[in-house]
């Protein structure tokens, strides 16, 4: 974000103030309390928002410095009980889930009473197939109600779910199943998105050929198209659910027992299994959902994120259901059957709170206002965004065109690791500045530091770190404590290193500038450049590869791959093959937007690739390449520039 752009700030729409949960004064007082006396603050919230089987003995122990933080020590609870059972007394007939299928005519609703029944039955199915407390269950399902039933059934019996996004390839699925040592996989015959069918069961069959621990696969019938069922291993979900006992008491779990593992990309190596524990996560997401989305009883809430990502976990499932809300689950995509899809769904179900990603907003804005203006969106009272920085002009379009200038926007900054939102406006409290995630949430102390770990102020950009422990933070990387410590705590000891760059303006507003490491965000999907490079290196002709991100108007960032081939081979056919291989290894979300064949990569004398230079050249910023004196062979840069210019000229020529 350019600091010199003049940003207009927006007051909270007056109608909104009439009903908001927290105003500015309350925010300031509560925030002060939350960071001065975190123990007292979180104890109050934990009592208010969560039902406990037995209370904690100590509110927290340890610290970020010692890396041994634990919250609600000794408390007993169950996440599924908090999302479902405790609402039954008052909400048995209230809709818990509105499901909207990919096809506009395909939809259904599930009440809290029905959800309870299905979860209990499915929990018994899992138990019948040998799943017990602590076992890992992989869930590779489309956005259908069974994904929520599966996640909550695991939580009910103390099994740890590991949801894998349905867009990942069999290879990525295999890596995740193996790393978490899952014993059972839940999938569907196929998924449908935008009218296209994706062969989930077939992908599972390929993935688990090399996963000896998987002994059962439960298959939901979504499309009914023919698939292969392995007699001894595969079970139909609908058959298993028949005749199974409808009672299954929730397991009394320890506050610090794991709830789930969710894989996410880092700078290096394979994706990391981020492990979240029950109590801290549940307290944090339940309470942050209530305040940040200004949730009120009866609100219809829609988060468009897939349940394969953290946003789906925290703010489609756990946060809304723990608050007794009605959450909308959408199977499809924003542009099918046409570009009005989101807005039509909002009108159809009278959605009040809508939470999506900048990439979707940019794509829909690109199609013109007419698709929005065809609908009323009268029910909306709040809009949210997550996943990447949102440009001020895109923010204004979202505010004025989608929200009719009456809905505050919460630009929520957070990560898989943080469990819940850490920086965001509170809609009834914070005057809005388009493009800024604004102020820290309760209990969160962000700092912006330089390379030496010293705090910097006054609009100066630096690395965003978090100073104090909060309940929603991950416990570890599954099976790799050392990687947890090295990734997040080594460079700035005693602080959680987020990997993002940011600056803070004179009003205390935080502006996130994007990732500072080798993680990129393509259409909001988090991908490690190292993963893509490894995939490229599996192609026989490739001898070296370096991947960087370049800005993209709709996707936010796009993948740019520099490839050195053996014997200098280069052709469009080879480009296609490289892209196909990346799709095969990771999944279609990792699409190579540009492939540039080069003679050599810029390296330091110790052999480290200088990505800073590659990033600039990819974006055609040739004038300010910074210090190139440490390069082993500085002439490589001139060749790279010439190669880049040649390719852009050819592309321009083709367009003319
Ligand atoms: C980016 C998604 C700017 C950031 C919940 C972070 C954002 C990464 C915002 C985490 C935002 C998320 N403004 N950037 N409001 N929200 N990010 O783990 O770079 O998929 O580090 O979690 O998304 O991505 P993840």
User: From CA 510, how far away is CA 517, in angstroms rounded?
Assistant: 19
User: Strand 542-552 and strand 234-236: pairing?
Assistant: unpaired
Ligand 1 centroid–CA 386 distance in Å is 6
For residue 325, the 8-state DSSP code is -
Task: Find the mean pLDDT for residues 7-32.
Answer: 90
Task: Tell me which residue has its CA closest to atom 13 in ligand 1.
Answer: 389
Q: Where are the beta strands (DSSP E) in 382-518?
A: 382-386, 409-412, 446-449, 462-466, 476-477, 496-504, 510-515
324 lines ligand 1 (CB under 6 A): no
User: From CA 296, how far away is CA 130, in angstroms rounded?
Assistant: 40
What DSSP element (H or E) covers 259? strand 258-264
At residue 652, does pLDDT exceed 80? no
For residue 428, the 8-state DSSP code is T
Ligand 1 centroid–CA 500 distance in Å is 8
- Domains belonging to the chain, first-starting first, are 27-407+481-494 (3.40.50.12780), 519-655 (3.30.300.30)
Ligand 1 centroid–CA 265 distance in Å is 12
The pLDDT, as a whole number, for residue 653 is 73
Distance of CA 250 to the CA centre of its chain: 28
387 lines ligand 1 (CB under 6 A): yes
Task: Find the mean pLDDT for residues 482-490.
Answer: 95
Q: At what angle do helices 572-585 and 170-180 cross, to 10 degrees?
A: 30
Q: Which residues of 569-578 are buried (b: 16+ CB within 10 A; e: fewer)?
A: ebeeebbeeb
Q: Place 655 in a pLDDT band, splitting at 50, 70 and 90.
A: low
306 lines ligand 1 (CB under 6 A): no
- Which mutation among 273, 305, 388 tests ligand 1's pocket best, with the greatest number of atoms within 8 A of CB? 388
Residue 68 vs residue 112, higher pLDDT: 112
In ligand 1, the atom with minimum distance to the C-alpha of 512 is 3
616 lines ligand 1 (CB under 6 A): no
Q: What percent of the chain has pLDDT over 70?
A: 99
Task: Tell me which residue has its CA closest to atom 6 in ligand 1.
Answer: 415
- Which mutation among 496, 521, 551, 556 tests ligand 1's pocket best, with the greatest number of atoms within 8 A of CB? 521
The pLDDT, as a whole number, for residue 4 is 52
In ligand 1, the atom with minimum distance to the C-alpha of 525 is 20
Task: Find the mean pLDDT for residues 618-644.
Answer: 88
In ligand 1, the atom with minimum distance to the C-alpha of 416 is 18
Q: For 341, what's the count of Cα atoms within 13 Å in the CB-facing half-sphere?
A: 23
Nearest CA-CA partner of 313 in 351, 264, 268: 264
The pLDDT, as a whole number, for residue 65 is 85
- Which mutation among 165, 309, 311, 386 tests ligand 1's pocket best, with the greatest number of atoms within 8 A of CB? 386
Residue 648 vs residue 524, higher pLDDT: 524
User: From CA 500, how far away is CA 257, in angstroms rounded?
Assistant: 29
Task: Tell me which residue has its CA closest to atom 15 in ligand 1.
Answer: 413
Sequence-distant (6+) residues with CB within 8 A of 542 are 536, 563, 564, 565, 566, 578
388 lines ligand 1 (CB under 6 A): yes
Task: Tell me which residue has its CA closest to atom 25 in ligand 1.
Answer: 415
Tell me the three state secondary structure of residue 548. strand
Ligand 1 centroid–CA 387 distance in Å is 4
User: From CA 211, how far away is CA 137, in angstroms rounded?
Assistant: 13
Q: What is the pLDDT of residues 571-622, one digit of tens each?
A: 999 999 999 999 999 999 999 999 999 999 999 988 889 998 999 999 999 8
499 lines ligand 1 (CB under 6 A): yes
User: From CA 133, how far away is CA 157, in angstroms rounded?
Assistant: 6
Q: How far is CA 625 from CA 519, 573, 598, 611, in A?
A: 21, 32, 18, 11
In ligand 1, the atom with minimum distance to the C-alpha of 437 is 15
Ligand 1 centroid–CA 520 distance in Å is 10
Q: What is the pLDDT of residues 339-361, one digit of tens each?
A: 999 999 999 999 999 999 999 99
At residue 188, does pLDDT exceed 60? yes
The pLDDT, as a whole number, for residue 551 is 93
Nearest CA-CA partner of 302 in 332, 329, 324: 329
At residue 21, does pLDDT exceed 50? yes
Nearest CA-CA partner of 335 in 302, 368, 313: 368
510 lines ligand 1 (CB under 6 A): no
Kindly report the pTM of this predicted structure: 0.96
Q: Where are the beta strands (DSSP E) in 104-222?
A: 107-111, 136-140, 160-163, 184-188, 191-193, 196-198, 216-220
Token couple for 298: 């009866």
Q: Place 629 in a pLDDT band, splitting at 50, 70 and 90.
A: confident
The pLDDT, as a whole number, for residue 66 is 85
At residue 386, does pLDDT exceed 90? yes
The pLDDT, as a whole number, for residue 402 is 98
The pLDDT, as a whole number, for residue 1 is 47
Q: CB of 501 within 8 A of CB of 515?
A: yes
Task: Find the mean pLDDT for residues 137-162.
Answer: 98
Ligand 1 centroid–CA 611 distance in Å is 21
User: From CA 414, how far away is CA 446, in angstroms rounded?
Assistant: 12
The pLDDT, as a whole number, for residue 646 is 86
Ligand 1 centroid–CA 421 distance in Å is 10
Token couple for 565: 């081939």
Q: What is the mean pLDDT of the chain?
A: 95
Q: What is the pLDDT of residues 488-526, one digit of tens each?
A: 999 999 999 999 999 999 999 999 999 998 999 999 999
User: From CA 188, how far away is CA 61, in angstroms rounded?
Assistant: 42
Task: Find the mean pLDDT for residues 365-386.
Answer: 97
265 lines ligand 1 (CB under 6 A): no
């Amino acid at each position: 974000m350019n600091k010199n752009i003049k940003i207009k700030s927006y007051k909270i729409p007056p109608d909104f103030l009439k009903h908001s949960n927290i105003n500015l004064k309350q925010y300031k007082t509560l925030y002060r309390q939350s960071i001065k006396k975190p123990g007292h603050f979180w104890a109050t919230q934990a009592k208010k928002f969560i039902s406990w089987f037995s209370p904690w003995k100590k509110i927290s122990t340890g610290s970020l410095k010692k890396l041994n933080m634990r919250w609600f020590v000794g408390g007993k609870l169950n996440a599924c009980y908090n999302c479902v059972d405790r609402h039954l007394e008052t909400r048995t007939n209230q809709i818990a889930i509105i499901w909207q299928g990919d096809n506009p005519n395909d939809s259904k609703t599930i009440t809290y009473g029905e959800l309870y029944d299905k979860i209990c039955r499915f929990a018994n199915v899992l138990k019948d197939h040998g799943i017990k407390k602590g076992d890992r269950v992989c869930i590779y399902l489309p956005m259908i109600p069974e994904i929520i039933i599966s996640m909550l059934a695991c939580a009910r019996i103390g099994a740890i779910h590991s949801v894998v996004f349905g867009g990942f390839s069999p290879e990525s699925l295999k890596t995740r199943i193996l790393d978490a040592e899952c014993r059972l996989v839940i999938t569907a015959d196929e998924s449908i998105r935008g009218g296209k069918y994706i062969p989930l069961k077939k992908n599972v069959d390929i993935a688990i050929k090399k996963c000896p621990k998987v002994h059962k696969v439960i298959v939901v019938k979504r499309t009914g198209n023919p698939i292969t069922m392995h007699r001894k291993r595969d079970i139909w979900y609908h058959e298993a659910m028949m005749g199974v006992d409808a009672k299954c008491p929730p397991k009394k779990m320890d506050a610090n027992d794991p709830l789930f593992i969710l894989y996410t990309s880092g700078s290096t190596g394979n994706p990391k299994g981020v492990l979240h524990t029950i109590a801290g996560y549940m307290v944090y997401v339940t309470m942050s959902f209530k305040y940040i989305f200004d949730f009120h009883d009866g609100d219809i809430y829609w988060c468009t994120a897939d349940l394969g990502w953290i946003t789906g976990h925290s703010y489609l499932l756990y946060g809304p259901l723990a608050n007794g809300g009605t959450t909308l689950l959408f199977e499809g995509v924003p542009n099918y059957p046409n570009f009005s899809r989101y807005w039509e769904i909002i009108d159809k179900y009278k959605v009040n709170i809508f939470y999506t990603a900048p990439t979707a907003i940019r794509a829909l804005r690109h199609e013109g206002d007419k698709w929005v203006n065809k609908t009323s969106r009268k029910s909306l009272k709040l809009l949210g965004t997550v996943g990447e920085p949102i440009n001020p002009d895109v923010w204004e379009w979202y505010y004025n065109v989608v929200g009719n200038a009456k809905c505050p926007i919460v630009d929520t900054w957070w990560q898989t690791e943080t469990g819940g939102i850490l920086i965001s406006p509170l809609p009834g409290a914070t005057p809005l500045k388009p493009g800024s995630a604004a102020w820290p949430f309760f209990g969160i102390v962000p700092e912006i530091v330089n390379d030496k770990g010293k705090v910097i102020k006054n609009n100066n950009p630096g690395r965003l770190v978090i100073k104090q422990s909060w309940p929603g933070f991950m416990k570890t990387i599954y099976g790799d404590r050392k990687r947890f410590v090295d990734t997040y705590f080594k460079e700035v000891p005693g602080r959680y290193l987020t990997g993002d760059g940011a600056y803070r303006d004179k009003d205390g507003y935080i502006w996130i500038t994007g990732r500072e490491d080798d993680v990129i965000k393509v259409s909001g999907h988090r991908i490690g450049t190292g993963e893509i490079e490894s995939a490229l290196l599996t192609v026989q002709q490739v001898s070296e590869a370096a991947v960087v991100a370049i800005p993209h108007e709709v996707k936010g960032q796009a993948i740019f791959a520099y490839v050195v081939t053996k014997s200098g081979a280069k052709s469009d056919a080879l480009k296609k093959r490289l892209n196909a291989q990346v799709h095969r290894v990771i999944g279609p979300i990792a699409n190579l937007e540009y492939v540039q064949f080069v003679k050599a990569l810029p390296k330091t004398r110790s052999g480290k690739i200088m990505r800073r230079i590659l990033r600039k050249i990819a974006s055609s910023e040739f004038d300010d390449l910074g210090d190139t004196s440490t390069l082993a062979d500085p002439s490589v840069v001139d060749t790279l520039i010439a190669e880049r210019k040649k390719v852009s000229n050819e592309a321009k020529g083709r367009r003319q």
